[in-house]
A and B are shown apart, each in its own frame.
Chain A
Amino acid sequence: MKRYLKPAIITVLSVLVVLFIIISVALWLVFTPERLTPIVRKQAEKHLPYHTEIGEVELTFFSTFPQFGLRINELTILSPFSGAKSDTLLHAGQFTGIIDFLAWWKNDQVIIEKVILKNGLVNLFTDSTGNSNFSLFLDETEKTEDESDEKVKTDSEFPFDLINLKRADLDNLNIYYTDLSANIVTEITQLTTSITGKMQGDNISGSINLKNANFIFLLNDMLTEVDNLKTSGNFDIEGDEITGNFDIKDGDVTYIYDTMEAFVKNISGSLAGTMLPDHIEGNINISQSQVTFGYDGETYLNNASVIINAPSTTFIPSRVWLNLDDATASVNQLAANLSGTLEVDTVGIIHTNMGYQLENWRIREIIAMVPPAFHEYLEGIEIDGIISSTGMITGIYSDSVMPLMDIKLQLTNGSFNYAEYPLPMRNMNGDVHIFTDLADDAKSFVRINRFNASTANSSFTTSGVINRLFSDIHTNLSTRANLWMEEFNHLIPEELNTSMKGRLNGRVRSNFSMSQMENMELEKMRFSGSATFTEFEMVYDTISLKTNGSKLDFTLPNPDKSDQNPGFAQFRFSVSELFASVNEDMHTTVKNGELFLETSDFRDSTRIPQVICTFNLEEVYAEMDTIRLTIRQPNGKFLLAPMAGNPEQPDIELYYKGDFLELFAGENNIEIGKVDLRTGMQHVAPAEEDFFMQWLINGFLDMSNANFALHALSYPVQIPVVKMDFDPENFNFKEGRMMIGNSDFHLSGEMRNILSWIRGDSILTGRFNFDSDITDVTQLMSLTSGLGIEESVESLNVETSADLAEDGEFTGPYMVPQGVDFILQSNIRKATFGVDTARNVLGEVIINDGILVLQDLTFSTSAAEMQMTSIYRTPRKNHLYLGLDFHMLDIQINELLNLIPDIDTIMPMLRSFKGTGEFHIAVETYMDSTYTLKMSTLRGASSIVGNDLVLMDGETFSKIARRLWFSRKAENKVDTLSAEFTIFEDQVDIYPFLIVMDRYGAVISGNHNLDMTFDYHISLVRSPLPFRLGLDVKGTPDRMRRRLAWPQYGRYYRPSSQRLVANKQLELRDIIRQSLLQNLRRREESQNQE
């Protein structure tokens, strides 16, 4: 083997040397530039349509070893054209081409081993009419194509089996293309790249290594510029299918259109895919870029890091249809994932079916991207958190139609702080579903699956749906809150002077639209919820409210709406303990209560709202100044409604029950055991000043175990039970038992004309049955004295205070109530009047407009059975009228004097008698305020009748008896006594009366003065004496003068009864009636005058 190796090497080397010599000779001697250049120039002039300048053409071998190459230096094609940048159409500083001629010759293969172009320039220009400086090339091309077409027709085979561009190096190529007809300017400058490629049959493959290039594309006002583009990649063209992949190593992109500016720097990434005539599919990856984006002078992105990764992207140009599959784009680490299709139809309408996903976007980073012009909106706002979102954008996008967006948004660990409202919120988490086409209410909604946030001490959670987004936004939300109220104090305007403490825990469900809210159409809105107050305190100005364990439930509208129940709202307030105060002077405490309220719309100013309020409380306590009120177990129902026919005025019904009520007001004390009150109140006359004139009140009152100790009442009032119906005009006492002072009585009956009386239209009338075991008349008189007397209220009060003694005893005078007409059918087992006592008092007590009438009053005292009719009238306090018709049957005369001491003054002779008699008196007089008789007004008539009276040891009669030789001594009986007398002022006129004793009968007459002077005449009309005898008795009881006188009355004179009192009784009955009628006439006249 070694034996053949040496000769072989020598042979090869020899061949190589010979070849080298041959090539050298050929290069330097045969194919010199001087020889080749003219040839090429000649061929250029022959085949190129423009003037061509070729500096030098040379054949290269060693620089292109091992292939031969053709190098053309300073190649210039000139095409002068008006408007063009220059007359140079094409220029190449150096063009070197290496072709494998052997393959061409042997195999019909074009193998371009290498093409080198240095310092090239292409200057293309088309004017506004469409003519270009390279149009002749087009003509040649068309001619060539025509020839080719003809050739194709004859020989459709491509002449070469293979075209292989093994390497093309372009170094500093500049291409300018200006098309004024299309308003396009395109520049590719400093293009330096290496290209390899192979075409075999219909298959083309190659690679590009773009080391540097600058692109400018200007269309109208739109500028697109790519600088320093560095990329490399491979491509394959197989038939209509083009595949390739490119790595973008570097580049800067500028896009300017109108007021929009976009700058992309340092872009890098890769593109890979397949392109068919109407189908592009591939991967796009931009692993790095800094994007600056501005619009209308505002910078929206500033050197933002943008990364895009679209691994499976499909684009159909004819449909402008784009499909992204799991594409990812991020801006400053804010990444979005896109999957779906986008299509632009022939009329420019975009059809989308695109899904996206945002993951963990930091709100702070989003905020950082907000342009400075919008910073003022964020001034003072600190917001952070992480937002994630997934969604689909489906449908058509055009000028009038927006695609359907199905967006699910999650917020995690958000925080919010606004300097104006220093209530930092944190732990904000949300899950929101947005579904909208930005146009159609029917399709659009925002569903808040969950949103919760908290402050330092409070938290809330809300969920619900918001729809009708583009017309009248409608919300249906449910919110739960646990609020520490002290945190919200700084949210309350200072002018409200309000502060809160404590905790409020509750939930609210709301369902309303924005228009309803703006117009406050609460009747159309739905709210419901509940709130629990724990150690809650609120202070508003001077009003303080505290509660613990209270709960408020509310619902708008009322779910229990019916024909009877108002439909606007329902509230239920349960209170464990509630304390309210005003000015530290008024305190109210409510314990363990529940209030249930239903109401109609209270904002309607044209009508009173309908309100139904049911309440049930354990205890209410209120205190103000010296007033203290305690109510236990108050419960009932309060109904408020517009009045029929006058809906602006209230119609109130109240059903109230309470177990205990106690009121202290200064020296007044009211205590009520049980109350059952059912009342209706109608505000019929709001213009009236007086409360009772404004309201029509009716109802029923059942009250028991009530005690009244009022300063205005001299005596405590106890009401064990009272049941009464009442209406504006009438009180109907069905049952009433009262204990006033020492009095204990049952009262039943009716009081009428109450409202008319208040109006002044009528007198107040009452018809009562007054049934009493014991009645202290003095006390009752003190209680009723002066009622209804308006003319001198001031003076009356002063005088009334003087009417009470230091021990509180009523000292009078009794002023008869005016403006009333009361009749009491009295049945009093025991009546006391001062020290006097009467039993079994029966009869009518009439109080009629300042007149007190005791009609046919019968009663019994220790002295006798009595019957009395009297009139008591009080025109003024120091001028009191008393008319009296008094009948005492079977009275012990000595008891009579004890009972009525004044009788002794009027008829002192009675003190001398003892026994049973009858006493009748009709008298009238005026008295002063101390009940002292005004003697000048005293008028009257009286009679006394007695049988078998015992003559006492009266001095006068003892002396008379001695003088008349009575046979009997002391206690002699008077067989009959029948005396009548009249009273005029201070003088009593004794009408002649017969007194029979033993064998004597005497007629006595005379007068008697109340100063105890007298002047009597005694005529002896029967005696054993044979003559008649008379005696005048004058003087005073102490200094009595007696003188025998001629008898004024004859033996057979018998005084006839004057029947003074009997007549008077009849007259009294008549005068009572006349007095009452007179009062009635007086009122009628008064009203007529008014």
Chain B
Amino acid sequence: MKKFLYFFGLSILVVLIFTGCDKDDDFDEALLPGKWQSGTLFERYFANGTGYRWNTADDVQEDEAQDYTWTLVKDELTQIHIMEIGGNVPRYYTVTELTSTRLRYEGHGRTFSFTRVNE
């Protein structure tokens, strides 16, 4: 029993230690709304948690963009892409930089870097 309590307490300690060592990267989601560009790839975020994405390299214009909803919790950016035929394709990214002019996030083995497009 002592042995069990020992390992249990050790575990909690380890958890607390690792929790305490977690990187505390909070990004201000208020900086996200707007139009962002990465080459021919564009994303637009609205403050209400919606947005859309398009790529002009595929001859897609902004009014033909595909919708998603987004959330930004600390550095976890979640995009739920909404298919026209219904259904969602979730995409989970980690934001590494978010300023008024730059947005960087990575996930699914890829890194995206955007700059804000002022209109």
Contacts and interface: CB of A to CB of B under 8 A. Distances in A.
B41 A1063 contact: no
A1015 B107 CA distance: 12
Interface stretch (B15-23, B29-37, B54-62, B69-77): B54-62
Interface string A1055-1067: 0000010011001
Given A936-B53, A937-B58, 19 more contacts: A871-B85, A879-B64, A883-B83, A926-B60, A928-B58, A935-B58, A936-B41, A936-B58, A936-B60, A940-B83, A941-B89, A984-B89, A987-B108, A987-B110, A1015-B109, A1063-B87, A1068-B85, A1068-B86, A1071-B85
B50 interface: no
Most chain A beta carbons < 10 A, residue from B41, B58, B59, B66: B58
Contacts of A871: 85
B84 interface: yes
Contact of A982 (B59, B60, B89, B110): B89
Most chain B beta carbons < 10 A, residue from A928, A935, A939, A1009: A939
Given A1007-B109, A1015-B109, A879 B86 contact: no
A937 B54 CA distance: 8
A630 B18 CA distance: 94
Interface string A932-950: 0011110111000000000
Contact of B86 (A875, A987, A1070): A1070
A989 B41 contact: no
Given A926-B58, A936-B58, A936-B60, A941 B87 contact: yes
A712 B86 CA distance: 38
B81 interface: yes
Most chain A beta carbons < 10 A, residue from B84, B85, B109: B85
A937 B108 CA distance: 17
Contacts of B87: 922, 939, 941, 1060, 1063-1064, 1067
The interface residues of chain A, by DSSP majority, are classed as: strand
A924 interface: yes
A764 to B, nearest CB: 25
Nearest to B53: A936
B19 to A, nearest CB: 21
Contact of A983 (B41, B66, B89): B89
A881 B66 CA distance: 12
Contacts of A926: 58, 60, 64
B66 to A, nearest CB: 6
A878 interface: yes
A984 B53 CA distance: 12
Interface residues of B, number: 22
22 contacts: A878-B59, A879-B59, A879-B60, A879-B64, A881-B84, A883-B85, A924-B85, A926-B58, A934-B55, A935-B58, A937-B55, A937-B60, A937-B66, A939-B81, A941-B87, A941-B89, A984-B89, A1009-B109, A1067-B85, A1068-B86, A1071-B84, A1071-B85
A1064 B108 contact: no
Q: Size band of the A side of the interface?
A: 20 to 34
Contacts of B41: 936
B40 to A, nearest CB: 9
Contact of A936 (B57, B83, B84, B109): B57
A855 to B, nearest CB: 13
B86 A1071 contact: yes
A983 B66 CA distance: 14
Contacts of A939: 66, 81, 83, 87, 89
Contacts of B57: 936
The interface residues of chain B, by DSSP majority, are classed as: mixed
B59 A1064 contact: no
Contact of A928 (B59, B83, B84): B59
Interface string B79-114: 001011111011100000000000000001110000
B39 to A, nearest CB: 11
Interface string A479-520: 000000000000000000000000000000000000000000
Interface string A944-988: 000000000000000000000000000000000000001110010
Contacts of A1009: 109
A984 B83 CA distance: 10
B84 A924 contact: yes
Interface in A1039-1071: 1060, 1063-1064, 1067-1068, 1070-1071
Nearest to A873: B84
Nearest to B82: A939
Contacts of A941: 87, 89
Nearest to A934: B58
Contacts of A936: 41, 53-55, 57-58, 60
Interface in A870-902: 871, 875, 878-879, 881, 883, 885
B59 to A, nearest CB: 5
Contacts of A987: 108-110
Contacts of B64: 875, 879, 926
B83 to A, nearest CB: 5
Contacts of A1070: 86
Contacts of B53: 936
Contacts of A881: 84
A1064 B58 CA distance: 25
Nearest to A984: B89
Nearest to A883: B85
Given A928-B59, A936-B57, A1064 B81 contact: no
Contacts of A1064: 85-87
A924 B83 contact: yes
Contacts of B109: 987, 1007, 1009, 1015
Contacts of A1067: 85-87
B100 to A, nearest CB: 26
A1060 B87 CA distance: 9
Contacts of A982: 89-90
